Amino acid sequence: MEPALKRLVVVSNRLPVALRKDEDGWKLKQGSGGLVTAMAPVLKNRGGMWIGWSGTSDSGAELDGLMDDFTEEAGYELCTVPLTEEDVDGYYYGFSNEIIWPLFHDLQSRCRFHPRYWRTYLDVNFKFAEVVARRSSPEDYIWIQDYHLMHQAFFLKSMGVRRNTGFFLHIPFPPPDIFMKLPWRAKLIQALTEFDLVGFQTVQDRRNFVGSLHRLMPEARVEGRGAVVTINMGNRSFRAGAFPISIDYAQFSDMAARPDVVQKAFDLKEALRHRKIILGVDRLDYTKGIPERIRSIQTLLRRYPDLKGKVNFIQIAVPSREEVDEYKELRTEIEQLVGRVNGEYSFPGWVPVHYHYRSLPHEDLVAYYAAADVGLVTPLRDGMNLVAKEYCACNNKGDGVLVLSEFAGAAAQLQKHAYLVNPYDVEGIAKALHRALYWPIEERKAHMTRLREQIRRGNIFRWVDSFLRAGIAKSLDDFPEADTVHFNRV
């Protein structure tokens, strides 16, 4: 009898696919975003499984068939957790995005602490845990992703299901004074302590978590030093660590070197008459600091008239949560700001701000990265921010400048060679941009070379490897690629 296959089972709110329905029925394609980029190469042909919500409340044989086809093509198994519209409204739009998202990004004034949201969040977490229990085996490693599913280990244990569980928080963990505003703070902290390993983006996030833990559970004792520590709770212990997420550096750098992408980047610069390009790329979200960034560009043009006609700011905003009023208002605010700056400074042949509200094909985005002289990454608060790393990876000429918010998780890693700014300081950002645009080429190249090398060494595979080593004393090599993987359908 063959030994049980030790699989990596990833559990996240959404499956790594995007579903769209038209007159011909459902269409399915590989999803985008940092998590999909991170995990798909790791699961492929290693017998892995991804458990999550499909993104729709509909279900049926047609959808199941599409999932099966994707499984065969992608090299890992998909498993769907069915959710109703009420589930999605209370758990996703409610608790996750109207409470945890703003609270953990230090924007507690935006929180709506409705008790109904909390109850639905628990109900949906229990549904996920039931699927995990049914579709996984005791030999599997269960890696839970992000703030939507913080109760997975708690519910698995309550069902008497023994699994080795790891949890990674992709967003920041707030300071104790902010976390303590959550009405369900003690229950949430308790749930996180039930995981065998809890991972954060930065050491500061881990410290914030430990600070909140000490306030709510004074008996907790931290042992060890370094990126990963052990936390003793009296009768049991778990580990907590910092694991900064990254990108597939080679994929971005190689694509930026492709002749067709090089041509796209050249065409972009040609269209802008080879002016200096400042680039911002973000999902449309109030944590990203896009309005503040546009005001910074306005300040730049006002304070440094020598730049008029010589620089273009391109802001790419990827649509997000378009049905939520807050995001509609943000989109309107940004469009009005862009109109104001362009109305004030444009002249025939030059419009300073180019604003694109849409998703771009991957190769087009890489071309924008490659063409940009300055990457302007200024979130008000961010867990990591992979755009900063993607920009550097695509800067094969090595002469770009990264202007980075000190409140992005990436700043902890990249601070020595990026130009750090306070995203609320529009005059400070304007000054940083002016300096970056006039930096000597040798200095720019020295800093960008070091940034690129740092990101190349600390790539996405190293992130996964470091988490697995801390969680189960295994590395990526212990989940080898197989020529043929047989998926067990239950």
Element of type H or E holding 6: none
Burial class of residue 318 in the structure, from the number of CB atoms within 10 Å of its CB (0-12 exposed, 13-18 middle, 19+ buried): middle
In 426-459, which ranges are continuous DSSP H helix? Answer: 426-438, 441-457
What the block records as the tokens of 186 is 């003690």
What the block records as the tokens of 20 is 């769209």
Please check whether residue 277 is in contact with residue 411, taking contact to mean a CB–CB distance below 8 angstroms. no
The residues with which 228 forms a beta bridge, in sequence order, are 241
CA dihedral (335, 339, 342, 345) positive or negative: negative
What lies within 8 Å, CB to CB, of 348 at 6+ separation is none
Please check whether residue 386 is in contact with residue 245, taking contact to mean a CB–CB distance below 8 angstroms. yes
Give the CB-side neighbour count of residue 277, counting CA atoms within 13 A: 28
With tokens 């302007």, the residue in question is 376
Annotate 142-159 with b (16+ C-beta within 10 A) or e (fewer).
bbbbbbbbbbbbbbbbee
The residue type found at 268 is L
DSSP type of residue 383: S
- What's the CA gap between 65 and 70, in Å, rounded? 9
Annotation marks residue 382 as catalytic: yes
Considering only the C-alpha atoms of the chain, give the largest distance between any 2 of them, rounded to a whole number of Å: 77
Annotation marks residue 170 as catalytic: yes
CA torsion angle for 30, 32, 38, 43 (degrees, to 10)?
A: -10
- What's the CA gap between 342 and 353, in Å, rounded? 6
What lies within 8 Å, CB to CB, of 457 at 6+ separation is none
Q: Which of 105, 148, 151, 170 is catalytic?
A: 170
- What's the CA gap between 220 and 190, in Å, rounded? 11
CA dihedral (346, 352, 355, 361) positive or negative: positive
Please check whether residue 442 is in contact with residue 401, taking contact to mean a CB–CB distance below 8 angstroms. no
Q: Which of 382, 417, 447, 465 is catalytic?
A: 382
- What's the CA gap between 101 and 107, in Å, rounded? 9
Please check whether residue 165 is in contact with residue 133, taking contact to mean a CB–CB distance below 8 angstroms. no
Positions marked active-site: 170, 382
